[in-house]
Amino acid sequence: MRARAPASSANLGPGFDVLAVALDRYVEVEVEPADRLSVHTEGEGAGLSDSVSHLAARVAASVLGHDRFSLVVRSQIPVARGLGSSAALAAAAAAAAGAADPFDVAARMDGHPDNAAAAVFGGLVVVALVDGAFQAQRMRLDPAIAFVAIVPDRPLPTEEARRVLPAVVERADAAFNLGRLGLLLAGLEDHRHLTAASTDDRLHEPYRRALFPESTALRSALSDAGALATSWSGAGPTVIGITLETDAEAVAQATRAALGAMSLPGRVLVLRPDAEGLVVGEAATLPTLGDAGS
């Protein structure tokens, strides 16, 4: 069985752990019966863990109840860069292994229910844990919106980014984020309401800046290039700009020039929202990247 799931950008500033958008880079997973486990990986993350420890192998084994299968993973999603690679991988592996609820499997085994929701359902999603069960809801996303991502050539594991967060937050900071989240959702529904302040955050980004100090300059570069709003993508180190589709290529080109001037190794990607989410069966092949940018 073959399955494909998209990348995603979570949080988008104030939507910490509850908001994500699916983006048009993908991971494809194939699971077939075999005498013993074999793992083969291609593309992004190839060769990092071609063994029983691979997340896709662990997910598929948990669904099947055994490890007598061959696993092939082909990925276009940068690993440990804040673009939902592990959630997409878990969702695709769960579906390829025949899980009845790939979203629940991915959310629980990968630990990123916001990214998992985007990977499975596509589009802009919000997620919540209600009475012990994850619930996801798609929100309207203005079709005029696209995204420009600066992906540094350095990983930032989520575990490391989590460790710097405080266990308790101030009431004023919680209220600040709730207000900004409302503004952000209104702006994502209709870009005419989107402002730079919509992606302001006090719950996670201020604490993570020390892990990637260049993030401030990179966000400024995106804004100067014409992005309507900017934020960290997930736990970083990728930073992302929300743009109009008509402006995305120009914003990316200007941002590439700024990145070169900073002598910071990395890529600038133009990413469009993915509306399909998880695809299972013969149609679940990797599309050509085309104008996704690099």
The beta strands (E) that lie in 110-265 are given as 124-130, 133-139, 145-152, 229-232, 239-244
- Cα Rg of the chain, angstroms: 18
CA angle (74 as vertex; 68, 77 as ends), nearest 5: 130
List, for residues 72-83, the tens digit of each pLDDT value: 999 999 999 999
pLDDT for res 154? 87
| CA end-to-end distance (rounded Å), the chain | 30
Is 291's pLDDT higher than 60? no
Distance of alpha carbon 105 from alpha carbon 124, whole angstroms: 20
Distance of alpha carbon 131 from alpha carbon 212, whole angstroms: 36
38, exposed or middle or buried, with CB in 10 Å at 0-12, 13-18, 19+? middle
What are the CA-CA distances from residue 174 to residues 48, 75, 94, 177, 188 (Å)?
38, 36, 34, 5, 21
Encode burial over 200-214: b for 16+ CB neighbours within 10 A, e otherwise. Answer: bbbbbbeebeeebeb
List, for residues 128-145, the tens digit of each pLDDT value: 999 999 999 999 999 999
Q: Record the pTM.
A: 0.94
Distance of alpha carbon 148 from alpha carbon 270, whole angstroms: 5
Q: Which helix (H) or strand (E) holds 91?
A: helix 85-96
Amino acid at 52: V
pLDDT for res 290? 60
**Structural domains for the chain:** 2-140 (3.30.230.10), 145-271 (3.30.70.890)
- The answer, yes or no, to whether the previous bond of 78 is cis (omega within 30 of 0) is no
Least confident residue range of 19-28, 86-95, 208-217 = 208-217
Task: Tell me what the mean pLDDT of segment 246-268 comes to.
Answer: 93
| 72 contacts 95 by C-beta, under 8 angstroms | no
